[in-house]
Structure 1
């Protein structure tokens, strides 16, 4: 047996879980949960914690123009492209401790195993923590990975503004200064990895219902985000007859009914969500002059997303209850299918620990959806209780997380050599 084989079996599960618990304390909320919004004090503190771990293991630590942090373990041939493993450290405002963070920690555990065992892989290994995956503070999310993969321009990312009026670019400047003050190497430009692997909690109930610790992710649904504004006319609620009203709320209600009907024609695979809805002037006795709402639209087929995009635009071109509609595409990310060759590596790595490994399509988007545009990319899922995430009740079982991390390490061993 070569040194790099069965790398998952050599992984120190106790040390891995110690790291999970240590990171969960950064940004911890009472009585449970965490809050690490992108580029805030706690998110930057989590970065520095990761930097400390990498430095203690003798890694070279880099950061780039978007604040993405990389821990590099050199390989026998430094000229080879590195295997990249990771996820993100930022969270929703009231979140669980494992969404994103688990993927970074699993990569760290893999790297730690190589160092502890004195194994130098053929090609370098880099662990990455991507900036602003969640998009909770600065929308849209996945800023660091989308820029790295050439899917978004730097100039558009840094102009995003949070709810307090802070520019992404200003918060990023503070983060970069902090990383620079710790003597880290600045690597401004993206590179092309050999492959990218990401372990993530499922954020759904399937693996738990199947009593499986790990699942192979075959691809990720595409997602379109829309911002829709309906413009009517404010007037007195008590004196304006129905026929004389241009009520933005009534118009929005009818439009939403039509949008949902068009979406649901595509079957149960489609996901249609209105996450925000607001009225102006927001007064109890005034007819709404303006209604604004968002749509999160997801499906694994790009053809379906494009067809619905055309249908949504057609509906937005009409007047509803005498009101005009303005539709803006806030974000558009195409679905991806991960390469069969890399999926087979994950299947083989998982089969040593579990029989009949499930395969799933991710309903949530992840940094991997962008990395898939620049290198072979794939994901593993591990179950979370009742499928709950983005909430303090998010919970993973230690045995499940450890099993999935061993599968990741096993796959890494194969790809590194």
Structure 2
């Protein structure tokens, strides 16, 4: 063995000893340094690029327009309510808009006949803005009742797109240890949508923004015009409104699969084998599944990766490593992963969860599971009063309260008043 090869072998053995369990401080130090250097290198390269130099003036212009030219939500509400364009909003104009457009009856103060401060009959734009912001969130002052204009709506859509894309990346970027953002964020989002649709009787409500950084989050899932008759939007109508956010999240999960591919591809170019692909499990079925998957990827390429990505597959990181090891072209791997995850798997998940969350299916499923568990498991009363059935009933009650809370917020049942 040549001296250089021996040195490389020793260094590789030393690297294998470094892990979060064996050497936590050293691992955190090295990973932090690597991340800092990588981010710094990318930022420097980006700042020096022609694209950045061209984009800076456009970004400054866009921020300036957003801050100083485009109306805030209170200004948009004033524009909608000032129907005669005289620069003032009167009680009559608000009552007319709410009755004709929103189909809502507006109650005024019994003594002054007004909802404005000090019994005023009308407000100019500045006074209206202060009044709107001071009492924002009641059943009258709601941003959900007004379109914020093309510029603001595009801002909210882009902010939500970045949010869902980031959550998707976090879901799959951790080499099997990513954050379960679907369970934590996406599926609750679908549940809130279905609960609001059942409560409103239609899908005439905003589904964005829901990100915690930018935009009026509180306007999402608030009924704009609640249905007077008992009805429910179709599954297709629900799925079509949910798909944009869910597909973007799915695209993020596809992007998160790139690191294992890149690492394995770089190793293969240097003539090295990926140790993850060489490892064997003590369970024969897992070994057989891995051999089968590697064989299909090597033989069928794009189609195999697409099909493996099109269903919930916790071992897909191994697929990315295999594609890199086999030197599969990047766009072949990423294209198949993107189509499989964002355009095949996610729509099927959306349809499933819409069916599950519509109506009272969740409560009925929990009752069924509780009945089955109660026949084989006995829980002492000192642990849970009522045993398994008691736990089941409390769970169903909690879900019912959550559904009722969403429904009340969506319908604005607190009463119309200032």
| Structure of greater relative contact order (alpha carbons < 8 Å, 6+ residues apart) | 1
After TM superposition, the score normalised by the length of structure 2 is 0.21
Whose strand proportion is higher, 1 or 2? 1
More helix by share: 2
Give 1 or 2 for the bigger CA radius of gyration. 2
